[in-house]
Amino acid sequence: MRIGIVCPYSWDVPGGVQFHIRDLAEYFLRLGHEVSVLAPADDDTPLPPYVVSAGRAVPVPYNGSVARLNFGFLSAARVRRWLHDGSFDVIHIHEPTSPSLGLLACWAAQGPIVATFHTSNPRSRAMIAAYSILQAALEKISARIAVSEYARRTLVEHLGGDAVVIPNGVDVDFFAKAAPRPEWQGDTIGFVGRIDEPRKGLPVLMKALPRILAARPRTRLLVAGRGDEEEAVASLPADLRSRVEFLGMVSDEDKARFLRSVDLYVAPNTGGESFGIILVEAMSAGAPVLASDLDAFAQVLDRGAAGELFPNEDAEALAGAAVRLLEDPARRAELRERGSAHVRRFDWSTVGADILSVYETVTAGAAAVAADERATGLRARFGLARDPADGPRAPR
């Protein structure tokens, strides 16, 4: 199958959607399919052979974050060229309503279109106002996927229609088989995320840290992610700042080793999350997880059975739960076991197969429509009735 995948966000600024698209493309390539990904990227950025650049993206505030998007006449021309050259059996557009390549591709594409909706946010006036603009593109979509029930709910409330829920995927064994790094072990709490993005919740964790350290002075907080490190610890008393170690951006391999090493992974995110891929990665690596009780996080953690939850933005509750877990190796071992079993449903062997089934359904439907149109044309050409069983039309 020839598969074209459209990424709305800049390939050279990694994020959850980009990682999902990358892993999905590589899963299909391993199965022998032909895959091309169109994504915003600087023209001098090294790209995998299956990624085609649609040009440089620009930063735009979006869903409580800053997304790097690509839109305009040049982008539209590159989209059309990519579609023409690809002759795809199916186009898979991610975030088709974002002002980026997804919407451009939706307008320009012909044939079966699958769309995945990642965003979960409250009903907005802006989305309501844009509906008339989006409607023509959305009507071309053959099948809709939402990465969670909360992304599906956003789609239903904003745009109408419905979607099948297929979660983000993870290569579970990649994380499960990673080797821990000794320097990251030993009474450690882990955090992965953009330091400068408040909704990732690092300020909440920093607020909880003095109480955690008061109970367990030897504990260290390890932070992986980009951002202003000095500003991140500015709220901490000076004598506690040495208990926070910043690792900067880490490779996929080091992220897996990081998650295999820490005693507790904390996800203090405050909102704007439709799924929670880092929770799945942490469980895959065998890290006990403590997360804010966002709806999406609660769903990923099986309502608290596969990881513990604390009230969103409640630093005192976070600190209390973290201390309790750090002092209870048996409970952490239980969470590791439950998380490792629960996470198998997010493995690409399951998620990828579900997405491929959607592709096969829409391409089969498109083939049936095309066959019916050809048959209708032949019947009209030879003067047959609409249904051959009705017999030939009487000559005029």
Pairing status of strand 65-69 against strand 58-62: antiparallel
Does position 102 have pLDDT exceeding 90, yes or no?
Answer: no
Does position 132 have pLDDT exceeding 70, yes or no?
Answer: no
- As a whole number of angstroms, the distance between CA 280 and CA 259 comes to 11
Can you give the pLDDT at residue 396? Answer: 40
Can you give the pLDDT at residue 267? Answer: 98
Token look-up 């490190």 returns 229
Q: Per DSSP, what are the bridge partners of residue 52? A: 38
Can you give the pLDDT at residue 393? Answer: 46
209 membership: H or E segment, kind and range: helix 202-215
Query: CA 299 → CA 39, 277, 304, distances in Å?
Result: 30, 12, 8
Q: Per DSSP, what are the bridge partners of residue 347? A: 170
Does position 273 have pLDDT exceeding 70, yes or no?
Answer: yes
Mean pLDDT of 106-132: 74
364-386 tens-digit pLDDT = 977 776 666 666 665 665 555 55
Token look-up 């190796």 returns 329
pLDDT band at 278 (very low <50, low <70, confident <90, very high): very high
Query: CA 352 → CA 3, 115, 391, distances in Å?
Result: 13, 15, 46
Token look-up 């909440």 returns 204
Does position 133 have pLDDT exceeding 70, yes or no?
Answer: no
Does position 283 have pLDDT exceeding 70, yes or no?
Answer: yes
Can you give the pLDDT at residue 121? Answer: 62
55-85 tens-digit pLDDT = 877 666 555 555 555 666 778 888 999 999 9
- The DSSP result for 162-187, as a single string, is --EE----B-HHHHHTPPP-GGG-SS
Does position 126 have pLDDT exceeding 80, yes or no?
Answer: no
- Sequence letter at residue 317: A
Closest CA to 182 of 265, 248, 258: 258
CATH numbers and ranges of domains, the chain? 2-169+348-372 (3.40.50.2000), 172-345 (3.40.50.2000)
- As a whole number of angstroms, the distance between CA 36 and CA 28 comes to 10
CB < 8 Å & 24+ apart, contacts of 322-326: 322/189, 322/208, 322/212, 322/264, 322/266, 322/290, 323/211, 323/212, 323/215, 323/216, 325/264, 325/288, 325/290, 326/187, 326/189, 326/212, 326/216, 326/219, 326/263, 326/264
- As a whole number of angstroms, the distance between CA 347 and CA 328 comes to 29
pLDDT band at 13 (very low <50, low <70, confident <90, very high): confident
285-313 tens-digit pLDDT = 999 999 999 999 999 999 999 999 999 99
Burial class (CB in 10 A: 0-12, 13-18, 19+), 165: middle
- As a whole number of angstroms, the distance between CA 122 and CA 120 comes to 7
- Per the prediction, the chain carries an average pLDDT of 88
